[in-house]
Amino acid sequence: MEHFIEFCRKEAVTLIAGLLAFASCFVIPPSAEYMGYINWSVLALLFCLMTVSAGLRAAGAFDWLCGKLLGVCRTELGTELSLEILCFFLAMLLTNDVTLVTVVPFTLLVWRKMKATAGSLIRTLVMETVAANLGSMLTPFGNPQNLYLYSAYGFSIGDFLTTMFPYAAASFVLILAATVGMAKREKEQNPPVPEKMPASSRKNNWKEDAAAPMDHRRIALYAALFAFAVLSVLHVVSTPVMFAVITLSVLFSDRSLFRTVDYSLLLTFVFFFVFIGNIGKVPSFSAWLSGVMQGRELICAILASQIISNVPATLLLSGFTADGTSLLIGTNLGGLGTLIASMASLITYKLYAAEPDAETGRYFALFTGINVIFLVILTALALFLK
């Protein structure tokens, strides 16, 4: 029973999506048209990007990058900023969840070796999460909802980058300012905190703590496959060709990577495709939701994300508006706010909560405070630019 409860809690979004899809089948009986609801290109791209990212991680590419970056750091603040900047830019290429799964465990290790304060660790983890969520919004493959919207609304890469750049740039400045401001305040309140990083945390000892040795051949292979997937996103290579090349390459190089794919996320997409497709055929509901969203796409996307997270909100609302730009901005900014607004945020929380001396209440309070402040500022910017 405990395992079942844990499963339901872990896969709550997928289960809810499945129940919605199942319930909608009573409204629109199952038929061959269901296959037309599903955006197979998005599913194929998500599958390939998750697989290739797992390959790069297993080959030690991200551990090496973390080590190189931290090798030049000499202070606690410098280390913190370096990790946040790494999360911000890495998420643009590898998605926010893959970035956090990679960087957060390393952060916990470094902070233990530095023997820094609990407040410093919590602040760093919160800001890493914010950085990953906000950095990922700049590119079509930074997070699942971007990939879906990029395909569903036919954005060009130029239009996509132009739309999201002001928010990414503002976010970067906010992250740096908030980190420096909070670190300065903590230093004033706790002057004995050592500023100098111990030698055990520096570059020379990084190799002792690396999760996996560097495998240059595999890194080259998966980097090439990642570039091939990007070409598909840019419509240079067809999705079926990309899917075949990457699937076969991984099958012969390391088929265990297929076990790392988040199949529950893919299944969630399928369920929502079915639900949206069926509900869209109910004239009264479709007209009502379309009317509610008309001219309010940005705010509706932000609010819906707070309750069901931004990926399901994207899939749900996209069926009832032609304003893809507002939906794109709203669901990305909507990743701020509550702990479930972006499912990637739960990754950091779960990893930190597993620590023996975790102060989850303090973490939750700081996370919520920072996210709400950032959300208000960026929403104001969006309304101003609109």
Q: Which pLDDT belongs to residue 200?
A: 44
| Average pLDDT estimate for 109-128 | 82
Listed in sequence order, the residues at least 6 apart from 361 whose beta carbon sits closer than 8 Å to its beta carbon are none
| Backbone region of residue 154 per phi and psi (left: phi > 0; alpha: psi in -120 to 50; beta: other values) | left
| Rounded Cα distance, 342 and 312, in Å | 10
3-state secondary structure of 75: strand
Query: What mean pLDDT value characterizes the chain?
Result: 84
Ranges 76-90, 282-296, 298-312: which has the least confidence: 282-296
Q: Minimal CA–CA distance to 76: which of 32, 114, 123? A: 114
| Rounded Cα distance, 40 and 321, in Å | 21
Per-domain residue ranges of the chain: 2-385
Helices (H), 136-256: 144-152, 157-189, 206-209, 216-233, 239-253
Ranges 76-80, 243-247, 330-334: which has the least confidence: 76-80
State the pTM of this model: 0.77
Instruction: Retrieve residue 116's tokens.
Output: 């820094």
